[in-house]
């Protein structure tokens, strides 16, 4: 997934928001946690370029292991279960679910080592043939990019809906 990670985090955050209305945490903070979480595994690109010298597929790093994000999300869910009013617990939960969402979306047309570190085998739902250069052109010209665009449009529609709603709410 190339462009839809941040919008997917926004969709995730806005869908969770209504369900945690009892917690005194701002909508902005939940949106920020969702977007940061949905982008977080790709922060390893810094390590990939700066330290690893692009030797290893960055999806092989710990930051792209589903077990890490699933464990963190489960731990956050348990934390939130015990501390239902905790802002930190809900923000941690949204962020970690965002991380889970990231690896799921990456697995759509990209390799994800779902059983790392136990099984050294990547899995992808669909494969994009490397027919063009640079590599990202193959992804943009593949049908799966329409799904990425659909996620972006979906997020935009939610954003517009929320903006209109808050404008109406502010009207005297
Ligand atoms: Zn990624």
> pLDDT band at residue 171, thresholds of 50, 70 and 90?
low
Query: How much is the average pLDDT of 30-35?
Result: 97
Question: Other CB atoms closer than 10 Å to residue 4's CB: what's the count?
Answer: 21
**Ligand 1 ion: Cβ-proximal residues, 5 Å cutoff:** 41-42, 106
Domain boundaries, the chain: 5-127
Å from CA of 39 to ligand 1 middle: 7
Has residue 90 got a pLDDT over 70? yes
Query: How much is the average pLDDT of 46-68?
Result: 90
Q: Rounded mean pLDDT of the chain?
A: 92
Å from CA of 113 to ligand 1 middle: 12
CA angle 158, 14, 22 (to 5 degrees): 140
Asked if residues 135 and 165 have their Cβ atoms less than 8 Å apart, the reply is: no
Closest-CA residue to 130 (of 110, 156, 150): 110
* Poorest-pLDDT segment among 22-26, 73-77, 120-124, 166-170: 166-170
pLDDT-above-90 percentage for the chain? 67
Query: How much is the average pLDDT of 10-21?
Result: 89
Alpha-carbon span 161 to 141, nearest angstrom: 30
Å from CA of 26 to ligand 1 middle: 27
Å from CA of 91 to ligand 1 middle: 21
CA angle 67, 69, 72 (to 5 degrees): 105
Alpha-carbon span 33 to 27, nearest angstrom: 10
Residue 172 has a pLDDT of 59
* Poorest-pLDDT segment among 11-15, 67-71, 160-164: 160-164
């Amino acid at each position: 997934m190339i462009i839809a990670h941040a919008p997917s985090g926004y969709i995730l955050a806005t869908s969770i928001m209504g369900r945690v209305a009892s917690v005194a945490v701002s909508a902005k903070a939940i949106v920020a946690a969702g977007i940061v979480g949905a982008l977080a595994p790709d922060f390893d690109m810094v390590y990939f370029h700066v330290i690893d010298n692009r030797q290893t597929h960055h999806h092989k790093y710990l930051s792209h292991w589903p077990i890490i994000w699933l464990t963190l999300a489960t731990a956050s869910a348990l934390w939130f279960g015990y501390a239902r009013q905790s802002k930190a617990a809900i923000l941690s939960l949204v962020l970690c679910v965002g991380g889970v969402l990231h690896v799921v979306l990456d697995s759509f047309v990209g390799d994800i080592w779902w059983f790392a570190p136990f099984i050294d085998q990547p899995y992808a739902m669909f494969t994009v043939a490397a027919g063009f250069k640079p590599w990202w052109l193959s992804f943009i010209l593949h049908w799966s990019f329409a799904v990425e665009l659909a996620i972006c449009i979906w997020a935009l529609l939610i954003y517009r809906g929320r903006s209109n709603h808050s404008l109406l709410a502010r009207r005297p």
